[in-house]
Amino acid sequence: MGGDVLRADSFLAEILGRPAYSLDWPQGADTAQRIAAALRGLPGQHFVYAKTSPEHCAHLHILEELGFRLTDTTVRLRKELDPGARQPLDARVRPARPADSEAVAAIAASSFRFSRFHLDPRIPRAQADLIKARWAGNFFKGLRGDSMLVAEQAGEVAGFNLILFAAGGAAIVDLIAVAPKHQRRGLGRALLRATETARDGLKAIKLGTQLANLQSLAFYQSEGFQLVSAEHVLHHHGADAP
């Protein structure tokens, strides 16, 4: 459904229990009409998400008029790396092993409050937690990520850093978290800095966080990351959706 306007998202559909889609912005002067037509073709229970730059206020207004609601503003940050200034790997950090899968999923399920799923009042907290748990767990199934680092504390896995490798020698921090009971011990900082060691020849690290998460934003800036872009994220729930 939706032709070239909506792209099915099977990962979210399975967790939310209804068809889920991402919006691909159509080109041309009839943008609003094409999106509206695609939405009319969906079943009553559905979920659609869209992303747009703050520069494009017209896009934001179109989506709002079609029933989308602003859920999150994501900020993107980047840090250029100096190969000669790489810091030594913290002794508490190591590559993930298959046996870490349950611990990593549990951390992911309990460590997020500001994701767009957690901020959406129409998505139950249990579903938002499950999205993060399965997102991290997919690394161990070979479905998500190129590398993962974990941090240990008191003999147990206390945090993780899921990493993607991009063109141009960049590493992307896809998902990073420390279990609540192990926070404020420098593990998040150790995991973030260890990104530099995930692959030889890295030139930059990229990541994103929510504008609402001021603590994380300040933390990344303290580590030398600079803001490079932002995007609004909007959700559309079908009229018959919970």
Q: Which residues pair with 171 in a beta bridge?
A: 165, 205
What pLDDT was estimated at residue 1? 47
What pLDDT was estimated at residue 241? 65
Residue range 111-139, pLDDT digits in tens? 999 999 999 999 999 999 999 999 999 99
**Sites in the chain below the pLDDT cut of 70:** 1-3, 240-242
Alpha-carbon span 37 to 15, nearest angstrom: 26
What pLDDT was estimated at residue 237? 97
What are the sequence ranges of the domains in the chain? 6-74+233-237, 78-229
Q: What is the largest CA-CA distance in the chain?
A: 59
Alpha-carbon span 103 to 182, nearest angstrom: 13
> CATH number of the domain at 78-229, please?
3.40.630.30
What pLDDT was estimated at residue 87? 74
What pLDDT was estimated at residue 80? 96
Q: What is the DSSP string of 24-77?
A: PPPPSTTHHHHHHHHHHTS-SS-EEEEEE-TT-HHHHHHHHHTT-EEEEEEEEE
User: Which DSSP letter does residue 88 get?
Assistant: P
What pLDDT was estimated at residue 172? 98
What pLDDT was estimated at residue 88? 77
Q: What is the DSSP string of 167-207?
A: TTTEEEEEEEEE-GGG-SSSHHHHHHHHGGGSSTT--EEEE
